[in-house]
Amino acid sequence: MGNEALDTLFRQQLIDLLATRLLTAHTGSPTTIQPIKGGLAPKTLLRAVERLRSDSDADVSLAALAAEAALSRFHFCRAFKESTGLSPHAWLRQHRLDQAMNMLRDTDVSVMSVAATLGYTSQTAFAASFRKLTGETPSDWRRRMR
């Protein structure tokens, strides 16, 4: 699964957030949204996480994840975040970072191979993403962890 999946999830979440803000501004409803208790049912969360972890080309769009959970995209995102502490996009980004860290720490494969395995289009894109989340380049992180 490449950056397209992350980009798609991020765009869909952004569109949903903007639509919600526009609707509440237009209807005169308060812009603060009261937190709603509860998240996804454990089995629903497990299915969503398995689908996000999947390396297949299966559809991991918000629409597909929400449809499988029988929720709107907005409610799926809210419930997913309530259950995991992260939005689907952030969860997937963190999962990929965890995979990268394990590969960098536990194997001798090149940074380029790690990037390719995780679906990044280039080593530069991977390094930029890794540095944004950790503050270090993959090579520096690897040297420090060994």
pLDDT value for 93: 87
Tens-digit pLDDT profile for residues 22-49: 555 545 544 444 444 679 999 999 999 9
User: Three-class SS of residue 136?
Assistant: coil
When pLDDT is cut at 50, 70 and 90, the band that residue 13 belongs to is: confident
pLDDT value for 35: 47
pLDDT value for 29: 46
pLDDT value for 15: 74
Tens-digit pLDDT profile for residues 54-80: 866 666 889 999 999 999 999 999 999
pLDDT value for 12: 76
DSSP of 12-42: HHHHHHHHHHHHHHHHT--S----------H
13-22, 46-55, 63-72, 122-131, range with the lowest pLDDT: 13-22
54-58, 107-111, 127-131, range with the lowest pLDDT: 54-58
Q: What is the CATH code for 91-137?
A: 1.10.10.60
Domain map of the chain by residue range? 3-87, 91-137
Q: Are 115 and 125 in contact (CB under 8 A)?
A: yes
The average pLDDT across 98-126 equals 94
